[in-house]
Amino acid sequence: MEIYPIELYHKINRKQSMFLLDVRTEEEYKQDCIEGVHLIPINELPLRTEEIPRNKIIITICAHGNRSMRAAIYLKEKKYDVFSLKGGMEAWNDFIKNKKEN
């Protein structure tokens, strides 16, 4: 139910059909986000689930992976094909930084 940053990176580069769902607050989102991500803060998720497509893989994203896992569990219960970004934006940014250095 989790996806590692390297896996997400390859999916993005292959232009795989997916819906990137950022469940952080708007303030967190404005500081740093992955290009093409859709913001639905986790506290708004139950009211905005209809905005999430059912015909794509959903990748939930937060700061460290906790909220995104809660969101993924919620969406899985609603029968979405969903994965949580392991380690969240912190892990994503570390991966991107290491990739640029190598």
- Sorted by where each starts, the structural domains of the chain and their CATH numbers stand as 2-101 (3.40.250.10)
Helix residue spans in the chain (DSSP H): 5-13, 26-31, 45-48, 66-77, 88-101
| Average pLDDT estimate for 72-89 | 98
- The pLDDT score that the predictor gives to residue 16 is 93
Which phi and psi (to 5°) does residue 51 adopt?
-80, -10
d(CA 42, CA 36): 18
Which phi and psi (to 5°) does residue 58 adopt?
-105, 130
Overall pTM > 0.85: yes
pLDDT digits (tens, 9 = 90+) for 27-43: 999 999 999 999 999 99
**What is the number of other CB atoms lying within 10 angstroms of the CB of residue 46?**
9
Q: Is the pLDDT of residue 91 over 80?
A: yes
